[in-house]
Structure 1
Amino acid sequence: MVLNNIEKLLEKYENGETSLKEEQVLKNYFSSDTVAPHLEMYKPMFEYFLVNQQEQFTKDVPLKTKRTFNYKWISVAAVAVLMLGFYFKQPIESSYKEYAYGTYDNPKDALNELETSLAMISSHFNKGASTVGYLEEVNKGTSALGYLNEIEKTTSIIFKN
């Protein structure tokens, strides 16, 4: 009767349907010396569970972490600030004093400045426009795909009827 009960509990255990009390019954049975020979294979597993249940963690767990301030990052930030300062060293007001409000006293100076700005914009625009010549090849490829769409339409008409 006891052996039959243990076999039922083992089946429930394998299906994950046992309660904690039933598992304790199994652990007690397999820790005893009288285990049925056909159930000997379960004995090491349940003995391991009993031993593992009694283990305790004995090391101290630090609750506060030590904060160490890393001074290397302050030096890196200081170097970055200095480098930006040297890069943008040019004083803004002194070099652009005559252009402070976007107006010129002499109309010829304004015209010359406009011409140089437009020439610069034009040269950069032409350089950029020359590099997108490959888009014409893309247009040729998409037109070839249009032919494939026509073939697909005709095949769909044929197979629908």
Structure 2
Amino acid sequence: MELDKIEKLVERYFEATTTVVEEEILREYFSREDIPVHLEQYAPMFQYFTVAKEERYTKKLALTRKPKGMVRNLYKWASVAAVAVFFIGFYFYNPSSKPASLADEYTPEEIASAQEALSLLAINFNKGTEQLYHLEEFQKNTNKFLTKE
């Protein structure tokens, strides 16, 4: 009877549904010498829990205080200086003015050359779109024949 109870408690322990009292029963049971063979695998775990429960940290901790006044004042003044530098830079920022027209920035020869290159591009682009129109017509006619059954 007790073995069935322990097996059920172990199962509930791994499902995380045991109470503290039930876990204490398991620790006491697995600290004994006469554990059935099929439950021996759990014995080291529960024995470790018993030993670990008794462990205590015994070293002394050195509690040192940080110098609050000096560090805090340094951070305050550094943040004030950063904000001041930001506003001074923003005040004196003078973006270069953009040219009013293309004639102010480029020579008439450069403008004429660019216009010629763009017109050649437009002509070739229109040739390509004409070919696409023919391809579209071909696709429509092909679909007519394919869908006719």
TM-score for the superposition, normalised by structure 2? 0.47
TM-score for the superposition, normalised by structure 1? 0.44
